[in-house]
Homo-oligomer: A and B are copies of this chain.
Amino acid sequence: MAGDVVSAPATDLLALDRAAQALLFRAARTANAFTDEPVDEEQVRAIHDLVRNGPTAMNAQPLRVLLLRSAPARARLLPHLSSGNRDKTAGAPLTAVLAADVDWHDRLPELFPHRPGARDWFAGDPAGREAQARLNAALQIGYLLVGVRAAGLAAGPMAGFDTAGVEREFFPDGRHRVLLLMNIGRPAPDAWRERLPRLDYAEVVSVL
Interface positions of A (Cβ within 8 A of B): 6-7, 9-11, 13-17, 19-21, 23-26, 28, 30, 41-55, 57-59, 61, 63-70, 73, 107, 110-113, 132, 134-135, 138-143, 145-147, 150-152, 155, 157, 159-160, 170, 179-180, 195-199, 201, 204-208
Contacts of A68 in B (CB 8 A): 208
Interface-central residue, A7, A52, A54, A199, by most chain B CB under 10 Å: A199
Copies of this chain assembled into the complex:
2
Contacts of A14 in B (CB 8 A): 46-47, 50, 150-152
CB contact under 8 A between A206 and B66, given known A16-B23, A26-B53, A142-B139: yes
Closest residue of chain B to A69 (Cβ to Cβ) is B207
A62 and B132 CA atoms in complex are apart in Å by 19
Contacts of A112 in B (CB 8 A): 196
Contact A150 B48 (CB under 8 A): no
Contact B25 A53 (CB under 8 A): yes
Among B20, B43, B69, point to the contact of A16 (Cβ < 8 A).
B20
Contacts of A197 in B (CB 8 A): 59, 110-111, 113
Contact A179 B65 (CB under 8 A): no
Contact B141 A195 (CB under 8 A): no
Closest residue of chain B to A151 (Cβ to Cβ) is B14
CB contact under 8 A between A46 and B11, given known A67-B207, A206-B65: yes
Contacts of A11 in B (CB 8 A): 46, 49-50
